Structure 1
Amino acid sequence: MNNSPVDATTDHSFLPYVSVVVPIYNGEADLPDLISCFLAQTYPQEQVEYLLVDNNSSDRTLNFLKTTAELSHLNIHPLSENQIQSSYAARNAGIRAAQGEIIVFTDADCRPQPQWLESLIQPFNQQNIVIVAGEITALPGKNILEKYADYQQTLSQKHTLSHPFCPYGQTANLAIRRIILEKVGLFRPYLTTGGDADICWRILKEKIGDLKFVPDAIVQHRHRTTLKELESQWRRYGRSNRYLHELYGVELMSEFTSKDYGYCLGRWLVKEIPKNTLKAIAGKASLIDFLITPIGLFTAKARYCGQTEAKLPENAKMIDWL
């Protein structure tokens, strides 16, 4: 992976036609803010098309997309994927309709910052770069779970880019050369999680180009606000572990036993709480410092449960092609 900083002297006349693909399921409430972010992009709007793919929503997402396409100054193409309930199938529908040299991915609940596209696209001026990942930061949040996730940088690409098996970028902020997808195929349409790792790994294992990380290409994303949402998020991470294990032999998360939980909780009560109490008195600790261990144990258990319960469906092994 090429992690060297992007050269500030890069030729900014490099402005290829770009296709931004967004899968959307019941995203009606998110779409006005997303469209506003697209309107604020510094990349020339005449060089961008936005392929917004409704994935069988039950709200008014599709109607909103059609109305916005008629009224907006943006080049918006409302599409539908109603046969397969999967964000990867929806992304494939967008890729098939795309005209751009570069295919960019983000999600409906993301908020791309104004220089997002401009920063994300520039590395493609180097022919050896075939994947570019931008950074994912948190939208401002006041809830204690949001603050915990922000403190841990849960959504940051730094976690996936340092994956011990092979680096990858999350589809919340990812760009791929279209010609590469013609060579390795599209997303696995029946996969429900882990597809971003899968497609990056298929590309990188072919040794046909490099991945570049651009920390200045930022999208913001909201963190989960309830324990139910947090559990669902980490169970999904666990399912992803299982699927990638079955596809690639990736090492699974080891079992976290009752003894392990007891040890961690005991350490928290006997050592961490007294230590953080003293720091809090000195004004150097917050509530988050006290809750890192119990919330971490909660997410670890959810992830392990997701990994244990999951089994890769046979049809999820199938790869779509252009």
Structure 2
Amino acid sequence: MSVGDQAAPAISIIVPHYQDLHRLDLCLSALMAQQGDLDFEIIVSDNMSPCGEARVLQAIAGRARLTMATEKGAGPTRNAGVAAARGAVLAFTDSDCVPDPHWLARGVAALSTYDFVGGRMVVLVADDGRMTGAEAFERVFAFNNRRYVEEEGFTVTANLFCARALFDHVGGFRTGLSEDLEWCRRATTVGYRIGYAEDAVVGHPARADWGELVGKWRRINAETFGLFKGRRHGRLKWGMRNLALPLSVIRHAPQVMRSPSIAGLPTRLRALRTLAAIRLWRMGDAYRLLFRNPS
């Protein structure tokens, strides 16, 4: 592992961060525990956290190099990390994530088969036996990265591997839209092949309550609307797409009742209530975006 060595490492791990020092510490501890004969560096790209650069450096505690990203947004923050990176291979995760000890080795190995790779995501909760409705909902529905990769052609940026040369060819992440989806679509459009690495595992904490869940979907709605409104008939398609959200509750209810990710009738009922509530909220928010952005 390389932190401040003069020789360029083979792999650069990019970790965007904003004001979450405790989880950053957990993430860096997991990255320092990576197994295998790996030559890598860790770049923490901080998006001007209010706590200040000195506090971020204190949390890093010599385990990574720090770069400061002055442009707001997750995409520009990742781009700043790439600009500081020295490796020929880039591995992306997020500061609130906990990569498995074999994550890096197995994700990089998959690049021998595919041009860029997304690994498996697992949803972490504080207590399996006492999940909130939001946690149970996320356990069932969040981060199905196999489906994203194999059916929709993109991977979440919390678990992404690619060559630096590929990234430079495709260009950086953009802001104001779903940067993971948009970046991957750009990559596949110019002919790069995406693949799924089941054994390159990253844990991501579930949203713990309704407020956190709404915050997540407010951001996703805004980013997805940004993609739709730039397309031909995109606004009409957006409106029609979101009309179907209430019906999707009925379609997905059996998935909640059968899912092996949660257990016990009370937990499943909490997940069902959250499913219905968040789908109705998303529809209302989608039309708010549509009518507040008339052109």
Shorter chain as denominator, the TM-score bin is 0.7 to 0.9
CA distance in 2, matches of 1:195, 1:52: 19
CA deviation after TM superposition for structure 1 residue 221, in Å:
0.7
CA contact under 8 A between 1:18 and 1:103: conserved in structure 2? yes
Secondary structure at 1:172 match in 2 = coil
CA distance in 2, matches of 1:141, 1:53: 27
CA contact under 8 A between 1:234 and 1:300: conserved in structure 2? no
Query: Structure 2 matches for 1:16-27, cutoff 5 A?
Result: 17-27=10-20
Closer/same/farther in 2, CA of residues 264 and 172 from structure 1, 3 Å limit = closer
Alignment partner of 2:21 out of 25, 28, 33: 28
Closer/same/farther in 2, CA of residues 96 and 255 from structure 1, 3 Å limit = closer
Query: Structure 2 matches for 1:239-250, cutoff 5 A?
Result: 239-247=222-230
Closer/same/farther in 2, CA of residues 255 and 97 from structure 1, 3 Å limit = closer
CA contact under 8 A between 2:249 and 2:279: conserved in structure 1? no
- State whether structure 2 residue 97 is matched by structure 1 residue 106: no
TM-score if structure 2 supplies the norm length?
Answer: 0.80
Alignment partner of 1:199 out of 183, 190, 194: 183
Moved over 4 A (4+): 247-251
Query: Structure 2 matches for 1:219-298, cutoff 5 A?
Result: 219-247=202-230, 252=238, 254-256=241-243, 285-298=264-277
CA distance in 2, matches of 1:302, 1:160: 23
Quick one: percent identity of the two aligned structures? 22
In the other structure, the counterpart of 1:120 is 107
In the other structure, the counterpart of 2:40 is 48
In the other structure, the counterpart of 1:93 is 80
In the other structure, the counterpart of 1:140 is 125
CA distance in 2, matches of 1:246, 1:58: 33
In the other structure, the counterpart of 2:201 is 218
- State whether structure 2 residue 172 is matched by structure 1 residue 172: no
Which structure would you say has the larger Rg?
1
CA distance in 1, matches of 2:190, 2:99: 30
Closer/same/farther in 2, CA of residues 247 and 101 from structure 1, 3 Å limit = farther
Secondary structure at 1:85 match in 2 = coil
CA deviation after TM superposition for structure 1 residue 155, in Å:
1.8
- State whether structure 2 residue 116 is matched by structure 1 residue 131: yes
Secondary structure at 1:203 match in 2 = helix
Secondary structure at 1:147 match in 2 = helix
Q: Which range moves more in the overlay, 112-121 or 240-249?
A: 240-249
CA distance in 2, matches of 1:38, 1:298: 36
Q: Please tell me the residue identity of whatever aligns with 2:283.
A: Y
In the other structure, the counterpart of 1:320 is none
Secondary structure at 1:41 match in 2 = coil
Structure 2 residue ranges without an equivalent (≥5) = 1-8, 291-295
CA deviation after TM superposition for structure 1 residue 123, in Å:
1.6
In the other structure, the counterpart of 1:149 is 138
CA deviation after TM superposition for structure 1 residue 162, in Å:
4.9
CA distance in 2, matches of 1:17, 1:310: 44
| 1:173-231 deviation digits (Å, cap 9, x = unpaired) | 1112111122221111xx14400011100010111x21110011111011111111111
Secondary structure at 1:21 match in 2 = strand
Closer/same/farther in 2, CA of residues 255 and 92 from structure 1, 3 Å limit = closer
CA deviation after TM superposition for structure 1 residue 121, in Å:
0.2
Structure 1 residue ranges without an equivalent (≥5) = 1-15, 312-322
CA contact under 8 A between 2:150 and 2:195: conserved in structure 1? no
CA distance in 2, matches of 1:184, 1:285: 46
Alignment partner of 2:146 out of 126, 144, 158: 158
